[in-house]
């Protein structure tokens, strides 16, 4: 009897250990999460969703109308790794009680990593504030000015759409837009944020008695700008076709860069003779360049047989050519790009300007250069207003299409 009791007690003890082990290795649950990133301006919230489709796990970043799909999701018990190959960004976290805690790693210019603390919880339906009290309405167009900590400024156009206390919007600048922003209005203040896999943006502002918005903008864990804005339904930016141009005495663009196989490619190659050529200065790290590639790839498929060629000059975060080419290939594969992509240099506007000395300057990625069948530069567009800008995107792509069709029809 004593031996039986001893054996029974031993089995109960072993079973209890097994139960404890099962409890300590919980599985990260599927469903919607509210993530938080620690930035220089405080907590930056965003939503994401984990889904299991026939055993294949995916994640979706959610910012307003934007959905960014993450295919490389690795869940191992209570640990999770989300990887965005086109941006080379990684979230790694572990489930502690009901909270995912870990880090976000963003790769910046020169291949330098930027690390932000990350945590996430489920069952939180609000982005910033649980019970906001809405006292203002900021819907409409705003003329804004942003000023960095060194005193340099630039104009912007804010587009806001408010529904109750919920707020969506974006800012257009001369070099591109801040894409899909989502947030809330509370009292007389607005809160907006986005995390799209590459950029972590946080905006805050308060409406003062003169009906001017005054606030701050933070990017990642370091960069800061102050900003002000006044409501202006006619607000607009400088003509994007006037900011970058050929220097006096030049009528043509000329370059030679290696393709992804190391072969030298020149704009003067027979392949481009008598063709309409679009040259875009881009980078796999650049969300606005992703917006443009999402438009250019099917555009090329449609018009290539009519005499259109496109060349992407890629300026990457890595100085090492092999690593840079790996990133470009991920960018190519994401958008099923069939046009030429060349490794042109590093993610630095000053250095990019040196690679194309016939231009007055490179002030934005992307910059898009339109060349006619006689190899003449006909237009240079700075920046790209993506789909997050609504009617601005529609107007830009309509102008783009009309202009290229005109060039294709010229003899």
| pLDDT tens by residue, 25-60 | 689 999 999 999 999 999 999 999 999 988 899 999
User: What residues does each domain of the chain span?
Assistant: 31-122, 140-231, 256-409
Select from 2.40.160.90, 3.10.440.10, 1.10.645.10, 1.10.1520.10 the CATH code of 31-122: 2.40.160.90
Alpha-carbon distance of 292 to 286, in angstroms, equals 10
CATH number for domain 256-409, candidates 3.40.50.20, 3.40.190.80, 3.40.50.150, 3.40.30.10: 3.40.30.10
Q: What Cα–Cα distance (Å) separates residue 266 from each residue in 253, 271, 279, 343, 344? A: 10, 9, 12, 12, 12
% of residues, the chain, pLDDT over 90: 88
**Interatomic CA distance for residues 37 and 200, integer angstroms:** 8
**104: closest CA among 36, 20, 18?**
36
**pTM for the structure as a whole:** 0.90
Report the C-alpha gap between 358 and 384 in whole angstroms.
Answer: 22
The answer, yes or no, to whether the previous bond of 221 is cis (omega within 30 of 0) is no
pLDDT in tens, 276-321: 999 999 999 999 999 999 999 999 999 999 999 999 999 999 989 9
Query: Above 70 in pLDDT, residue 84?
Result: yes
Question: Which DSSP symbol is given to 187?
Answer: B
Which CATH class for the 140-231 domain? Answer: mainly beta
The pLDDT assigned to 325 comes to 96
How far apart are alpha carbons 35 and 21 in whole angstroms? 28
């Amino acid at each position: 009897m004593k031996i039986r009791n001893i054996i029974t007690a031993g089995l109960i003890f072993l079973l209890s250990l097994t139960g404890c082990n099962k409890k300590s290795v919980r599985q990260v649950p599927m469903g919607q999460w509210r993530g938080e990133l620690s930035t220089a301006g405080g907590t930056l919230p965003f939503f994401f969703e984990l889904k299991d489709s026939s055993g294949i796990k995916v994640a979706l970043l959610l910012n307003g109308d934007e959905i960014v799909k993450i295919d490389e999701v690795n869940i191992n018990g209570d640990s999770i790794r989300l990887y965005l190959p086109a941006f080379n960004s990684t979230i790694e976290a572990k489930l502690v009680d009901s909270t995912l805690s870990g880090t976000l790693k963003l790769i910046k210019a020169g291949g330098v990593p930027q690390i932000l603390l990350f945590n996430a919880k489920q069952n939180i339906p609000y982005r910033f504030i649980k019970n906001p009290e809405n006292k203002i309405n900021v819907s409409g167009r705003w003329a804004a000015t942003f000023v960095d900590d060194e005193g340099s400024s630039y104009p912007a156009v804010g587009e806001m759409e408010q529904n109750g206390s919920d707020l969506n919007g974006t800012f257009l600048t001369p070099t591109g837009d801040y894409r899909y922003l989502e947030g809330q209005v509370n009292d007389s203040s607005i809160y907006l944020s986005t995390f799209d896999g590459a950029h972590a943006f946080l905006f805050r502002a308060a409406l003062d008695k003169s009906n001017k918005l005054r606030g701050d903008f933070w990017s990642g864990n370091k960069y800061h700008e102050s900003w002000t804005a006044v409501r202006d339904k006619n607000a607009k930016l400088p003509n994007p076709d006037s900011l970058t141009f050929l220097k006096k005495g030049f009528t043509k663009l000329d370059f030679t860069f290696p393709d992804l196989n190391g072969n030298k490619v020149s704009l003067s190659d027979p392949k481009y003779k008598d063709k309409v050529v679009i040259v875009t200065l881009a980078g796999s790290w650049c969300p606005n360049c992703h917006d443009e590639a999402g438009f250019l790839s099917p555009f090329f498929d449609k018009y290539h047989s009519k005499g259109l060629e496109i060349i992407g000059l890629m300026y990457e975060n890595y100085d090492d050519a092999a690593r840079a080419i790996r990133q470009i290939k991920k960018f190519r594969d994401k958008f099923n790009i069939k046009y030429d992509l060349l490794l042109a240099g590093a993610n630095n506007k000053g250095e990019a300007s040196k690679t194309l000395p016939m231009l007055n300057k490179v002030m934005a990625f992307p910059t898009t250069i339109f060349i006619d069948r006689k190899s003449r530069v006909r237009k240079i567009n700075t920046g790209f207003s993506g789909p997050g800008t609504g009617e601005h995107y529609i107007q830009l792509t309509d102008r783009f299409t009309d202009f290229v069709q005109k060039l294709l029809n010229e003899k």
